[in-house]
Amino acid sequence: IAPAQASLEYEVKSFTAGREHKTIYQGLSDDVDRAWGELYNHTLLKIPKNEAALLPNKTYPIKDEPGYYLAGLDVFHQLHCLNNVRRALHREYYVNDTHLDEDHVSHCIDSIRQSLMCNADISVNVWQWSNELSAVVGYSTQAHSCRNFNKLREWAQERRVHKWIDTRLFVDDDLPTPPIIYK
């Protein structure tokens, strides 16, 4: 169903544990904020009518680009939400952020929960003896079968909407309304 289906490639990746080996997405700095923003900013997409017609829910036409419709891949919404939760954990640093209201953060947490359950990663976590700790510890660096995120982001960037869409304007169109499958 998803227009991005053809761009999917899979790869095996080992996750970092995130404790000893920090990533550019950890900590509090302008560089960290920029790295998060680069994951999902500018990901409002335009898709042609033939792809929009395949979606299970009707989407909105772009007034200035006849034959194109607004879309977005949920992975980018999930990353936006995870970033909001990250920032909400550090409200003292993000004092002026107006997107961290309780309702928005609560929405984000539940949206991430639903996505995790929907995509249910079945990679196996292992436990091993640590001589250093004299205990059995869990390791989360096992291999995962992943969609190539960079390929998806490239696909999205090629289709991104480059100018502001006035979402307060009604635009009528002839795209058929599919039967409601999901509520």
What are 64-83's pLDDT values in tens digits? Answer: 889 999 999 999 999 999 99
- Distance separating alpha carbons of residues 81 and 39, to the nearest angstrom: 12
- Distance separating alpha carbons of residues 83 and 25, to the nearest angstrom: 9
- Calculate the CA 93 to chain-centre distance: 23
What are 18-73's pLDDT values in tens digits? Answer: 567 789 999 999 999 999 999 998 789 999 999 999 888 889 999 888 999 999 99
Question: How confident is the model at residue 47, as a pLDDT?
Answer: 94
Question: How confident is the model at residue 162, as a pLDDT?
Answer: 84
Question: How confident is the model at residue 88, as a pLDDT?
Answer: 96
At residue 180, does pLDDT exceed 80? no
Mean pLDDT across the chain, nearest whole number? 89
Q: Helices (H) and strands (E) in the chain — how many of each? A: 5, 6
Beta-bridge mates of residue 71? 45
- Calculate the CA 181 to chain-centre distance: 23
Average pLDDT over residues 164-168: 78
Question: How confident is the model at residue 1, as a pLDDT?
Answer: 58
- Distance separating alpha carbons of residues 149 and 75, to the nearest angstrom: 9
Kindly indicate the confidence band of residue 151, based on its pLDDT and cuts at 50, 70 and 90.
very high
- Distance separating alpha carbons of residues 113 and 174, to the nearest angstrom: 35
Average pLDDT over residues 138-167: 88
Q: Where are the domains of the chain?
A: 3-158
CB neighbours of residue 25 within 10 Å: 15
Kindly indicate the confidence band of residue 15, based on its pLDDT and cuts at 50, 70 and 90.
confident
At residue 113, does pLDDT exceed 90? yes
At residue 92, does pLDDT exceed 70? yes
Residue whose C-alpha is closest to residue 139's, from 17, 13, 18: 17
At residue 2, does pLDDT exceed 90? no
Question: How confident is the model at residue 179, as a pLDDT?
Answer: 65
Kindly indicate the confidence band of residue 139, based on its pLDDT and cuts at 50, 70 and 90.
confident
Q: Mind giving me the DSSP string for 93-152? A: TSTT-TT--HHHHHHHHHHHHHHHHHH---PPPEEEEETTTTEEEEE---EEEEE-HHHH
* Percent helix, percent strand, percent coil in the chain, to nearest 5: 35, 15, 50
